[in-house]
Each structure stands twice: as C-alpha cells, then as structure tokens.
Homo-oligomer: A and B are copies of this chain.
Amino acid sequence: MKITALAGGIGGARFLVGVQAALPDADITVIGNTGDDITLHGLRICPDLDTVMYTLGGGISPERGWGRHDETFTVAAELAAYGVGPTWFGLGDRDLATHLVRTRMLAAGYPLTEVTAALCQRWKPGIRLLPMSDERVETHVVVETDEGRRAIHFQEWWLRMRAATPALEIISVGAEAAQPAPGVLDALTDADVVLLPPSNPVVSIGSILAVPGVRAALARTPAPVVGVSPIIGGAPVRGMADACLTAIGVATSAGAVATHYGARRRAAPGDGILDGWLVDTADTGTEVPGVTVKARPLLMTDVAATVEIVRAALELAGV
C-alpha cells in the first residue's frame, strides 16, 4: 500500500511510528513541513524534517520528542559565552552536525530534497522523506511589541515567547512563489491513501497546504484523504496550536479544524481536502458537512495505542 502523509514535528513523527508499525510493508512517503526552518549561527536548521528523520531512524530524544538522544549543549553554551545569540533555540551538539552537513550541501548547490535524502542515508527512517518545497517558505508571526507591530520568525514566537504574545497574523513568507519539491505532487496523486497526522493545522499542515499545487493535488487525488484531529476536547494534545488557530480565526475544536481543512467534493474539486476525520471520544458527536467523522481514543500514549489510531484512520479511509 502506498501511503502519503503530511507531517509537522513531534505529533506527526509519533503518528508515523504507528503507521510503520501498523503496516510494516507499506510504501510510505512523508511530505514534511519546512515552514519552521530557520538559519541560526549560519546553520540551516529544519526542525520538522529532523524530528521525523530522527524519530523514525532511532536518533530522537524520547523524553523531549525533538532533538537527539543523549544530547549535550556544549557548543550552544560556548556561543552564549561569546555573547552570540540567540540562546532560545535548543541547539544540541549532535543535532548541530546534521545542520553542518545540511548547510554545507545547500551551499554546494544541492536542493533540500537531495540533502534530506543524503541525511536519511544515515538514519534509514524507512520512509521517503520529502520537504514540502526546495525553496524557502518561512512562517513568520505578526505580534505587537514595545517597538510596535513586528513580523518575527515563527521559532522566535514559539520558543522565545512561548506563543504567549498573541499572534495577530501568521504568514508563510515565500509560499506564493514556491514550488512543491520534486515528488510531492506525485506522492499525493499516486497514493492509495493520504493521511494527515495530528500535526499543528496552521503552522505544520497549513504551511504545507500553502505551497501552490498541494491543496489542488489533495482535492483531486483519487486516494481517500483522512485526518486525525490534533485537538481533543477543545485543547491541543501538545504544543500551542490553540494560539495558532486563534490567530487565523479558527476555534480550538476538532470540528472547527476539520471545517477549516474543508470537505472534498469529488464531483467539483475545490479547496476542501478531507474525506474523513478522526476525533477523540471526547469530541463524539462532532459533525463536519461533507466529511465522515468517527470518534475513538486519540491519545498516542504508546506505539500500540498509535497503531490502533492508524488502523482506525485507514478503516475510515476504506483501505
């Protein structure tokens, strides 16, 4: 079975572990969010791609869910000792080597797709990991500061401000002019099923959907498209997706997120992308016009629980 998934970071990666466990022989393509990417200390950092790669490749820190296990932060401490910032980004030593290799390959002219494939040769995540685009699409957040209204990088808002300062607007800088990375549209068109893991609907899935052509490919693919709600009982399972949803005027509820994604209309494809939507039992009774909704426990407490969620999603997709 050919499965294509759109994925952000921690939630997406953990869901994918369940996909692999549920279907060990599946041919899985993951379209990763690169809107969170940032250049710090001259190093190009792709947090979501790395979280997926490390998680599926056995390199992740299971406690944090991001970054490497047995990580140290020596270089970051030294940079701080030099007075060189920012200090709010968790730049681990092991992780830094990944960024060094990536930065060097990008500087040598390799597109991010090939860089990601090269890094995956070490990690062997068992999936094909594609960045959503080889071009820079960076999520910026408009906030009110003491110096007035400013657009700052998503990571600064997310990590330094802990998303506590209200986001007035969330912008995918560069998205309009970006192209999907090679293989992205084909992976959507050729899939037997497309899954939307419980990733952040705004800055993870939303960034991927902002790349021209992706939403249309989802709307038209013959494969069923099923999503798993990242919102349970009116709150995000992890992270601060509520702050992102508020910024774009979407309520923090399983139903509102699905309505935001929109129902697919096979007869007359539009912007909608969902056939099915899996919500938690806390949200039983959620109705989304045009979308088949099913309720079941959605907490990915361990791999076994995640496998059951994946199976329910596949069942909902009818595959």
Contacts and interface: CB of A to CB of B under 8 A. Distances in A.
A94 B75 contact: yes
Interface stretch (A98-106, A148-156, A215-223, A293-301): A98-106
B79 A101 contact: yes
A93 B122 contact: no
Contact of A72 (B42, B72, B83): B72
Given A72-B72, A93-B93, A94-B78, A83 B42 contact: no
A103 B42 contact: yes
Contacts of A96: 75, 78, 96
A107 B75 contact: no
Contacts of A1: none
A84 B100 CA distance: 10
Q: Which of A79, A93, A107 has the most CB of B within 10 A?
A: A93
Contacts of A103: 42
B83 A122 contact: yes
Nearest to A96: B75
Contacts of A82: 97-98, 101, 119, 122
Q: How many copies does the complex hold?
A: 2
A75 B93 CA distance: 6
Interface in A96-125: 96-98, 100-101, 103-104, 107, 119, 122
Contacts of A122: 81-83
Interface string A50-85: 000000000000000000000010110011011110
Nearest to A42: B104
Given A79-B97, A83-B122, A97-B82, A104 B41 contact: yes
The A interface is mostly helix, strand or loop, or mixed, namely helix
Report which residue of A75, A81, A94, A96 has the largest number of chain B beta carbons within 10 angstroms of its beta carbon.
A75
Nearest to A118: B82
Contacts of A93: 72, 74-75, 78, 93
A107 B39 CA distance: 14
A116 to B, nearest CB: 13
Contacts of A79: 97, 100-101
Nearest to A92: B74
Contact of A75 (B41, B42, B75, B104): B75
Nearest to A97: B78
Interface of A: 41-43, 72, 74-75, 78-79, 81-84, 93-94, 96-98, 100-101, 103-104, 107, 119, 122
Given A41-B101, A43-B100, A82-B122, 15 more contacts: A41-B100, A42-B100, A72-B74, A74-B74, A75-B75, A75-B94, A75-B96, A78-B94, A78-B96, A82-B101, A82-B119, A83-B122, A84-B100, A84-B101, A96-B96
Q: Which 10 A-B pairs have the closest CB atoms?
A: A78-B97, A74-B93, A75-B97, A42-B104, A79-B97, A82-B101, A78-B94, A93-B93, A41-B100, A75-B93
